[in-house]
Structure 1
Amino acid sequence: MTGIVYKSTGSWYQVKSEDGKFHQCRIKGKFRIKGIKSTN
């Protein structure tokens, strides 16, 4: 699944998928461990 992050709250992210639906997601562990960060 591919989507765009619209909102982040703590460790939860609101993501809009390609079909237009919103999903509550958490970031994958390897991104957290590597310290990858993003900005708006």
Structure 2
Amino acid sequence: MTLSGQNQESLNYKSAGVDIAAGNELVERIKPIAARTRTA
């Protein structure tokens, strides 16, 4: 859905401020911590 007369800029993760590489690094860093919370 678009409104006529508005600028059509593409929105993507990077332009929204999301850093995929940093997110992946965080996941790798917390994996050992998360694994220790498993009870069964």
**Smaller-chain TM-score bracket:** under 0.3
Higher helix share: 2
* Higher gyration radius (CA): 2
Higher strand share: 1
TM-score normalised by structure 2 residue count = 0.22
Structure with higher RCO (Cα < 8 A, 6+ apart):
1
